[in-house]
Amino acid sequence: MSVTRNFVPPPPGKHFERRVPEGDTTERYVCGQCGHIHYTNPKIVVGSVVVCGNRILLCRRAIEPRKGLWTLPAGFLEEHETPLDGARREAMEEACADITVDALLAIYSMTHISQVQLMYRARLDKPEYAAGPESQEVALFAWDEIPWDQLAFPSVRWALEHYRESRDLAAFAPYSNPTA
């Protein structure tokens, strides 16, 4: 699938047309009948690098995209939810893991899919976890055991590497997309 910067989602209803509303500078879907503007905005993904002892928790995806590959517990922030609560919920849903969030590790901006990812650094005090419905398997990996060639998304690798850089830092500015 090719997603470009010019990707325009389908109209939310048959009366909607694509145009720049008066006083705006960007094309929107505007209802030709009532003038209602249908705004679309980037979505927030929340997730975490969860550490137990010196091992890192990864989940093998049971769903598409990237089914069968390894990822961090992460997902879309829900309405009326704080990012911290969202990161904890995702760890519970995908890995049955009751995590303690320690710091904001990174903010990644995936402009081609209009996502902003807030990735936290977290710990699991006891090695208690299990595969949730979206995971085939959940496991703890020492750094050298991480299946680097079977990671689901580029930002999984970024977050792991940024976790390693930040490991001895108590307070730090969150990392962002690596520059190529």
**Candidates 49-57, 80-88, 143-151, 153-161 — which segment interacts with a second copy by CB under 8 A?**
80-88
Q: For residues 108 and 8, what is the distance between their CA atoms, to the nearest angstrom?
A: 22
Q: For residues 2 and 104, what is the distance between their CA atoms, to the nearest angstrom?
A: 31
> Per CB under 8 A, does 33 bind a second copy?
no
Which alpha helices (H) appear in the chain, and where do they start and end? 83-95, 154-166
**Candidates 49-57, 72-80, 135-143, 155-163 — which segment interacts with a second copy by CB under 8 A?**
72-80
**Candidates 48-56, 70-78, 143-151, 156-164 — which segment interacts with a second copy by CB under 8 A?**
70-78
Residues with Cβ within 8 Å of residue 161, at least 6 apart in sequence:
178
Q: For residues 114 and 72, what is the distance between their CA atoms, to the nearest angstrom?
A: 19
Q: Which residues would be at the binding site for a second copy (CB under 8 A)?
A: 5, 7, 12-13, 23, 25-26, 39-44, 76-84, 93, 103-104, 107, 109, 111-112, 114, 116, 118, 133, 171-174
